[in-house]
Amino acid sequence: MEFTLLFLATAVVMLAAWRGPRPLALGLFAAVLIACVATYLHHATDALKLSF
């Protein structure tokens, strides 16, 4: 469900960038990027069997 919402939010940011005020688009983009990072951290829990 979170991915559906992220796609929807991205589409909304695109529409805001194309038709809305610039500060709104920038603010919404920041929110979407933070949500993407949070989603990544939520899913990236498997340990990588690697050594560097």
Under the rule (CB under 8 A), what is the footprint of another protein? Answer: 1-4, 6-8, 10-11, 13-15, 17-18, 22, 25-26, 29, 32-33, 36-37, 39-40, 43-44, 46, 48-50
Least distance between another protein and beta carbon 27 (Å): 12
Helices (H), 1-52: 2-19, 22-43
- Residues with Cβ within 8 Å of residue 3, at least 6 apart in sequence: 39
DSSP state, residue 50: -
Q: Which two tokens stand for residue 3?
A: 């991915």
Least distance between another protein and beta carbon 41 (Å): 11
Least distance between another protein and beta carbon 21 (Å): 10
